[in-house]
Amino acid sequence: MDKFQTVLNFFLGHQKVLGYGAVSLLTAGSERIFSLVVFECPCNAWNLLYGSVFLWVPALVLFLLGLLLNSRSGRILTGCCAPGRPSLCCQGSRFCRCLQVLWLAVAQATVAPVTWISVALLGGHFYACAASGSTVVQKYMCEGKGDECSKLVLQAPCGSTSQEMGDMLKNLKAQSQVMGWILISCVMTVTLLCTCVSRCRSPVSVLHLRFWKVYLDKEQELFEHKATEHAAKLAERNLKCFFDSTELEPFQTPSPKAWQGISSLFAFNPEEHYYSMIHKYVSRKNTGGSIKSEAGDMFPTCLGFVDAAGGAETRVL
C-alpha cells in the first residue's frame, strides 16, 4: 500500500510533465502510423503540395485542438463579447493581461504540433516528397546535370531504381533530419530560457509555489464536490416543487455576478496575498471590497497555473 501511495504521489506531483510526455508520445505514434499506412507520395507534379499537406496540416489541426481544449483561452473568451455587455478584453490593463494569458495558452498548445513536425522531419518521408517537387531543391540537386535530373528527383521518393535516385533520396532525408534536430534544439533552448527567466522573476519561493499548487488542486477537488452537491440539492428542490405542485422554497445560490467574479483572470498582489479568485472573492466579500485589479497587481508568468486550474483540458466545455 505504501508503494502504491508513493507511485500515486509521484504521478500527482509530475502530472504536467507526464501529460506533455503522453501527448508527445501519442503524436509521435500517430505520425508513424500516417507515414507508414496512409502516406504515399505520388511522385509527380503533386509532390510539393501532397508532402506539405501531410507535414503542416496535421500540425495546424493539433494546434487548433490544443487551443480549443485549453482552459486559459476558454477563461478569456467565455462571455467576453456577450450581447448587452461591454467587451471585457479591451479594457485598459486587462487587454495586456489577456494577451499574456493567451500567449501561455498558445505556448501550451504548440507541444503536439511541434512534436508532429519534429518526428516527421526525423522520419524524412513527408519532407522528401515535398522537397522533391520544389524547383529550388531540384535546381540545387541538379546543378551541372541534364534536364532529366529534375524528373529523377521527382521519382526519388517512390524508390530507388538506380544508384543516382538512391543518392538523391538519401540527400533529401539527410536534409529533413538535420532540420528536425535543429528544430528540436531551438525549441528546447527557448523553453529552457523562458523557464529560467520565469523562475528568476518569481515573487514567491519554490516551496511556496509547491504549496500554492497543492492548494489549487484541493480547492478544485472540493469545488467539484460542492458544486455537484449544490446542483443536486437545487435539482431536487425544483423537481419536488414540480411533481408535488408545492410552492417554491427559498434556495441560496451564487449570483451571476459572483460567478463572473471567480471566473476573472488572477492578479498577484504582494500586499494582499490570495491563492485563487475564489479566495479573493470570499475574502473581500466580507469587507465589501471589489475584486477588480488595483495598484500593485502583478502578473508573473510563473503563476500562470492559477488561471489554468480547473480548466477544460480534460473535458470539453
Do the Cβ atoms of 58 and 116 come closer than 8 Å? yes
What confidence score (pLDDT) does residue 127 get?
A: 92
Q: Which residues lie across from 298 on neighbouring strands?
A: 268
The DSSP-derived string for 160-182 is: -SSHHHHHHHHHHHHHHHHHHHH
User: Which of the four pLDDT bands, split at 50, 70 and 90, describes residue 76?
Assistant: confident
Q: 12-31 pLDDT, tens per residue?
A: 455 566 666 777 788 878 77
Residue 314, pLDDT > 70, answer no
The span from the CA of 309 to the CA of 217, in Å, is: 8
Residue pair 157/136 in contact by the 8 Å Cβ criterion: no
Is residue 296's pLDDT more than 80?
A: no
Please provide the DSSP assignment of 7-75 as one string. HHHHHHHTHHHHHHHHHHHHHHHHHHHIIIII-----STTHHHHHHHHHHHHHHHHHHHHHHH-HHHHH
- Give the C-alpha separation, 258 to 240, whole Å: 27
Note the pLDDT tens digit of each residue in 197-207.
988 988 889 99
φ, ψ dihedrals at 140, nearest 5°: -65, -45
Residue 262 reports pLDDT greater than 60: yes
**At which residue does the C-alpha cell 517537387 appear?**
133
- Summarised one tens digit per residue, pLDDT across range 216-253 is 999 999 999 999 999 999 999 999 998 988 888 888 88
